Chains A and B, each alone.
Chain A
Amino acid sequence: MTTKVLFEKTKVLTDVPFHYCPGCGHGIVHRLVAEVIEEMGLAPTTIGVAPVGCAVFAYDYFNVDMFEAAHGRAPAVATGIKRVQPDKCVFTYQGDGDLASIGTAEIVHAAHRGEKITTIFINNAIYGMTGGQMAPTTLVGQKTTTSPKGRDKDWSGSPIRVAEMLATIEGSAYIERCAVNSNANIIRTKKAIRKAFETQMAGKGFSLIEILSPCPTNWGQSPVEAMKWLEDNMIPYYPLGVMKEV
């Protein structure tokens, strides 16, 4: 009897089971990033930087040399790595509390210097690991454990659009916003991730892919409801598409 292999998990992911909740988008994005690294033949020269947040253990999952950074500092850590190993592929993987709150200075200035690194930015409109607090990306009216009556614009401001903001910076070379709420969008996300890594390896400058991603646990929804909520509520405020390409 002969067998034919129809699908294999990428070798750029380890065999360690993910700790992510059912319906979480992190698992999808981890696989997309790992597949792109493998398909581009970059694994032997890739160094990744994990954040503080739900993806804190990303260093256990990506089967390449990895760093764990302090909260928000991944772009600075990646800068240090890339400057001493300019021929390597260096990426950060960060959530919205990490990147859009405590780490805003680091991400803005990595883009500003045109650091030749790639950032994978997961926007799920909430703090996941600490249990569902308001993030800078939380939508107006969205209930969280620190905005129990819904985010009040006058009290807490309106959610920050990271991709648009970073696209205004000269050093940014490729910025795109994607979502992982449907098969079609997942395929688009993978293409965008590949484009970002290609931009880095071509030495063009800073690249970032913002990915709208569901958090059913902290949104208080089922995985299916969360995908629908993302499409109905997040995409209208956070439009998908290429924000910057040089």
Chain B
Amino acid sequence: MAKKLMKGCEAIAEAAVQAGCRCYFGYPITPQTDIPEYLSARMPEVGGVFVQAESEIAAANMVYGAAGAGARVMTSSSSPGISLKQEALSTIAGAELPCVVLNVMRGGPGIGGIAPSQGDYYQATRGGGHGDYRQIVLAPASVQEAADIMYGSFALADKYRMIVMVLADGFIGQMMEPVDLPMGATPEVEKPWAATGWTPESDRPRAVINSLYIKEPDLTKLHERFAARYAEIEANEVRYEAYQLEDAEFVIYAYGTMARICKSAIAILANEGIKVGMVRPITLWPFPTKAVYEAAALDSVKSTLTVEISAGQMFDDVRIGVNGVKPTEFLGYAGSKIPTVDEIVAKIKSMKGVE
């Protein structure tokens, strides 16, 4: 199929429809409002559900209801709206339901700004809502990758009965790029646990969709299930891009749009004879800890640099991965100030000790 020039948000929304998502609940917030706008027209065309909720809180609780009733469902928002959704997301995690959540990150804290940012890494990878739980977090670096990731997220959520968060930055949502849309519904699993109407003669137990486990050891057992599931995900679902690591003198760690900016810097440095490689995490949880270590541990590598549009959030996970095998440095700013190609080039040169 010929590539189409599409805006990131619209490509993501159409990829969700192609994957078999027939249910969207959302609320307008910049810079992701193109998603509800697109789906308000698209969902009725495919017999799906679109509801513009009264708030992000309500939208996410509608997702809980639809997911518990067995639907393939998603919501989207941007940073302040994602904070509002956390009550329901924690509930969804506790009830072991599948759903997909898109966060098109903008600067924070508070209302912050509307320019791109990577300031929600901690919130996304440390659970977000209250309680000891995880969600799968995927970070695209192009419109094509955003569409592909969104397309695959529903099957992933269904497989593990958990939240998949697509963590994009404002660039991905707003820029236009040629995209080859993935087509055809992705695999669905049976959902015998869903609340769809029951009688004592039904061939399944009565459904109680619930995150309340007041009698021990029920809550302990929930977390034992989580631990087993998380171990399986860490073993099977880690994704990353290893870029020009051969003979690299320095390794950069960056994700999302920031990684693309780093590639421009890597090209300039290569022209000047400085070999720089990169590990770009695609899954932020599970984090590619082993790949991060192995790149740093290469004999050719002298030191590493993490670059983020934040004050250094993924940097924590990088340091756990590198584990002291080589020096780790950081370049980035809180808010929406974006490290430039020139700054990255200068930083690597200073690490090498040249002007």
| Cα A106 to Cα B57 with chains together (Å) | 9
| Interface residues on chain B, size class | 35 or more
| Cα A188 to Cα B206 with chains together (Å) | 31
The answer to whether B64 and A77 touch across the interface, beta carbons within 8 angstroms, is: yes
| Contact residues, A38-89 vs B (CB, 8 A) | 43-47, 49, 56, 59-60, 63-70, 73, 76-85, 88
**12 A–B contacts from the bound complex (CB under 8 Å):** A44-B197, A44-B198, A66-B195, A67-B64, A67-B210, A68-B208, A73-B87, A73-B88, A76-B61, A76-B62, A77-B68, A83-B51
> Closest residue of chain B to A112, judged by CB?
B54
| Cα A70 to Cα B65 with chains together (Å) | 11
In the complex, chain B residues whose CB is within 8 Å of the CB of A70: 61, 64, 87-88, 91
Q: Cβ of A30 < 8 Å from any Cβ of B? A: no
The 10 closest A-B pairs by CB, nearest first: A80-B65, A76-B61, A80-B62, A109-B54, A80-B66, A65-B195, A77-B65, A73-B61, A76-B58, A68-B210
From B58, B59, B65, contact of A81 by CB (8 A): B65
The answer to whether B206 and A80 touch across the interface, beta carbons within 8 angstroms, is: no
**How many whole Å from B58's CB to the nearest CB in chain A?**
4
| Chain A residues engaging chain B, CB cutoff 8 angstroms | 11, 43-47, 49, 56, 59-60, 63-70, 73, 76-85, 88, 105-106, 108-109, 112-113
| Cα A47 to Cα B54 with chains together (Å) | 23
The answer to whether A68 and B211 touch across the interface, beta carbons within 8 angstroms, is: yes
The answer to whether B197 and A46 touch across the interface, beta carbons within 8 angstroms, is: yes
From A66, A76, A78, contact of B207 by CB (8 A): A66
Q: Cβ of B311 < 8 Å from any Cβ of A? A: no
The answer to whether B69 and A64 touch across the interface, beta carbons within 8 angstroms, is: no
| Cα A79 to Cα B63 with chains together (Å) | 9
In the complex, chain B residues whose CB is within 8 Å of the CB of A113: 51
Q: Cβ of B209 < 8 Å from any Cβ of A? A: yes
**How many whole Å from B199's CB to the nearest CB in chain A?**
5
Q: Cβ of B6 < 8 Å from any Cβ of A? A: no
Extra inter-chain contacts (6) besides given A76-B61, A80-B73, CB under 8 Å: A56-B212, A78-B65, A84-B65, A84-B73, A105-B54, A106-B54
**How many whole Å from B98's CB to the nearest CB in chain A?**
14
> Closest residue of chain A to B202, judged by CB?
A44
| Cα A83 to Cα B51 with chains together (Å) | 9
In the complex, chain A residues whose CB is within 8 Å of the CB of B63: 80
Q: Cβ of B55 < 8 Å from any Cβ of A? A: yes
The answer to whether A64 and B66 touch across the interface, beta carbons within 8 angstroms, is: no
